[in-house]
Amino acid sequence: MRRSFAVITLCLAGVANTQALAADAPREVKSEFQQNIVRRDRMVRELIALDSKGADAVAAGKEPIATHADQVKLQDQIDLIQLRLETLALRWDLNLPDPPKEGKDELDEATITSQRIESAFQEGRNRSQRVLANRCISMLASIDYDAFLARPE
């Protein structure tokens, strides 16, 4: 009985200690963590660009050996940063976001920009439509329908 109480106490102490870690993470650790996330995401985007460059070279019938070497080098650097991020995330109970997905960020950026532009133009279109509708209503209200209908044929 006493032994099971000791085991339960140790387990609860471990859980409480783990939950306190995220709040107790030093500012330097959080800063390093955020900087590494930014570096990793930038490198992943570079790797995606290199993948595209290599695919273009292969499609053109060339051997992109230098591009493949750059891809391997960059992937190794990304793996090291990811390992450091995962270590910090586990040790300090920090939230580690997923790296960018291939093709998604460029598409999302272009889509977001397009949506913003379309939204701005749509506001202008809506204002123009309201003005035009008001003008049409004014014009229709100004027509003398009695005179129009009384015209001899």
Q: pTM, whole model, 2 decimals?
A: 0.55
CB-based contacts of 10-19 (< 8 A; 24+ apart in sequence):
18/93, 19/93
Same domain, 28 and 73: yes
Mean residue pLDDT across the chain:
82
CA gap 116, 102 in Å, rounded: 23
CA gap 40, 53 in Å, rounded: 20
Same domain, 42 and 115: no
Among the three residues 79, 100, 121, which one is the final residue of a domain in this structure? Answer: 100
Structural domain containing residue 124: 103-153
Sign (positive or negative) of CA dihedral 49, 54, 60, 65: positive
Flag whether pLDDT at 7 surpasses 70: no
Sequence letter at residue 95: N
Q: How confident is the model at residue 16 (pLDDT cuts 50, 70, 90)?
A: very low
